[in-house]
Amino acid sequence: MTETLPSVHLDDEWLRMFYEQVGRELSLARESQRETHTWVITLTAGVFTAFLTFGGNGFNYPTENAFLAVLIILPLLFRFFVRSCLEYEILHRWTVLRNALDAYFFARSHMPDKVTDASRHLRDVIPKYYFAWYAARPFGRMLVDNIKLAYGWPFIVFSALLVWGLMMQHKSSVICGCLAAFVVWMVLELYWFMTYHGFKHLKPETDFGLKGLAGDFGVPEKK
């Protein structure tokens, strides 16, 4: 079933108020994403520092307490990843909207022949990315970009610790209970993550924005 998106009337006063809101939200999303990435790096470094400190002269892993710590930290790390993905999509939603608004206002002031294309693009992206809250970037691209930005080595490190602990650690009743809780929680997290509406990508039917004006200034398009 296709969702019916609301139509948008390009009222000047509303657009200028909306432009101010977009600017504020864009700055907030960028700052929030930066802080989340900082927390992830701090968390990973802190865990390794704790392991080395409490391990004495050597890296004493896997002990039961250390393995339990990994089982607690991995869901927390994944929760940070989910938050980063949310912030990533929010950032790109506002970026697409801001670029479309910039192109529209610029075309109105300097390129009247482009106003029709710019307004059509604006009417396309506002319902999709503001009212319906679709994702501006594909799901796979979102995953890859966030892993490259901050999560590649933390995921590798903690996954290796998890596998190492599973192979070497004695499976006491406490360990088995925590493992069961870990698996159930991660399955739920993955389900919520994969089915969240805000991660569903809907590509614009028009392709204008600032890129639509680039050729008029002799700017080559990306290959």
pLDDT tens, 143-174? 999 999 999 999 998 999 999 999 998 889 99
Calculate what percentage of the chain has a pLDDT beyond 70: 86
DSSP string, 136-197: SS-HHHHHHHHIIIIIHHHHHHHHHHHHHHHHHS---HHHHHHHHHHHHHHHHHHHHHHH-G
Handedness of CA 93, 94, 96, 101 (dihedral sign): positive
Determine the angle formed by the axes of helices 115-126 and 64-110, rounding to 10 degrees. 150
Least confident of 51-60, 106-115, 135-144: 51-60
pLDDT tens, 46-65? 887 877 777 655 567 788 88
Whole-prediction pTM:
0.87
**Residues in a beta bridge with 135:** 201
Do 126 and 11 meet the contact criterion of CB atoms below 8 Å apart?
no
- Residue 83 has a CB neighbour count (10 Å cut-off) of 16
